Structure 1
Amino acid sequence: MDTELLRTFLEVGKTRHFGRAAESLYLTQSAVSFRIRQLESQLGSPLFSRQRGNVHLTPAGERLLPYAESILQTWGRARQDVSLSENYMEQIALGASSSVWELSGISEWINASHQTLPEIAFRMESVSRQDIVRALLEKSIDLAILGDPPKVEGFKLKQVANFEFKLIATQPGISFRELAAIPLAYLDWSTRFSIEHARITELQRTPLLHASSSNVVVNFLSHNTGMAYLPEPVVSQHIDSGKLFLVDDAPVMEQSLYLCWNEDNEKIDSINQLASVPFELSTASDD
Structure 2
Amino acid sequence: METELLRTFLEVNRMHSFSQAAENLSVTPSAVSARIRQLEGEIGRPVFRRNSQKVSLTPAGERLLRHAQGIVQAWERAQRAAGEDERTQIVVAGVASFWDIFLQEWLNRVYRELPGVAPWVEVSTAARVADKLIQGEVHLGFLYSPPQHAGLVLREVERMKLVLVSTRAEQTAVEALAQDYVFVNWGTVFSSQHDRQFPHRPPAAARSNSGQVALRLIQAAGGGAYLPLALVRRELEDGRLFRVEDAPVFELHAYAAWSARGEHAELVERMLEFL
> Shorter-chain-normalised TM-score: which range?
0.7 to 0.9
AA paired with 1:226? G
TM-score by length of 1: 0.72
Residue 84 of structure 2 aligns with an amino acid whose one-letter code is: L
Q: Which residue of structure 1 lines up, in the alignment, with residue 90 of structure 2? A: 92
Of 237-246 and 151-160, deviating more is 237-246
The question of whether the paired residues in 1 share the 8 Å contact of 2:140 and 2:256 is answered with yes
Report the CA distance between 1:83 and its aligned residue: 4.1
Please give the secondary structure, in 1, of the residue aligned with 2:79.
Answer: helix
Task: Give 1:28-177 correspondences, 5 Å limit.
Answer: 36=42, 46-47=45-46, 59-60=58-59, 64=64, 68=68, 71-72=71-72, 74-81=74-81, 83-86=83-86, 88=87, 90-103=88-101, 105-176=102-173
Question: For residue 267 of structure 1, what is the aligned residue in structure 2?
Answer: 264
Q: Deviations over 1:34-66 (max 9, x none)?
A: xx45xx7xxxxx4569xxxxxxx9735655479
Q: Name stretches of at least 5 consecutive residues in structure 2 with no aligned partner.
A: 9-31, 49-55
Answer yes or no: is 1:205 the counterpart of 2:228: no
Partner residue of 2:244? 247
TM-score of the superposed pair, with normalisation by structure 2: 0.75
Write the distance in 2 (CA, Å) between the matches of 1:234 and 1:66. 43
Amino acid corresponding to residue 168 of structure 1 in structure 2: V
- Kindly tell me the number of residue pairs found equivalent between the two proteins: 244
Is the 8 Å Cα contact of residues 74 and 140 (structure 1) preserved in structure 2?
no
- Tell me which amino acid in the other structure corresponds to 1:59: T
Asked whether the equivalents of residues 102 and 214 of structure 1 are also in contact (C-alpha less than 8 Å), the reply is yes
* C-alpha contact 2:177 2:224 (8 A) present in aligned 1: no
- In structure 2, the CA distance between the partners of 1:10 and 1:261, relative to structure 1 (3 Å rule), is closer
Residue pair 1:143, 1:261 contacting (<8 A) in 2 also? yes
1:81–1:91 CA contact under 8 A, matched in 2: no
Question: Judging changes above 3 Å, is the alpha-carbon distance between structure 1 residues 135 and 239 closer, same or farther for their aligned structure 2 residues?
Answer: same
| Alignment CA distance shift 1:107-1:138 (3 Å) | same
- C-alpha change, 1:230 and 1:62, in structure 2 (3 Å) is farther
Greater shift, 198-207 or 118-127, is seen at 198-207
Q: Secondary structure at the match of 2:126?
A: coil
Is residue 177–residue 201 contact of structure 2 (8 Å, CA) maintained in 1? no
Determine helix, strand or coil for the equivalent of 2:97: helix
Could you say what secondary structure the match of 2:180 adopts? coil
Percent identity over the alignment is 24
Change (3 A) 1:8 1:124: closer
Residues 207-240 of structure 1, C-alpha deviation per residue, up to 9 Å, x if partnerless?
Answer: 1112112122122212334222112232223323
Task: Pick closer, same or farther for the CA change 1:79–1:15 going to 2, 3 Å.
Answer: closer
Query: Does structure 2 conserve the Cα–Cα contact (< 8 Å) formed by 1:155 and 1:263?
Result: yes
Gaps of 5+ in 1: 22-31, 41-45, 50-56, 280-287
CA distance in 1, matches of 2:144, 2:95: 10
Greater mean deviation of Cα atoms: 256-265 or 230-239: 230-239
**One-letter amino acid of the structure 2 residue matched with residue 68 of structure 1:** A
Task: State the one-letter code of the partner of 1:93.
Answer: V
Deviation for aligned residue 1:172:
1.0
| RMSD over aligned Cα atoms | 3.2
Distance change (3 Å), C-alpha of 1:251 and 1:154 = same
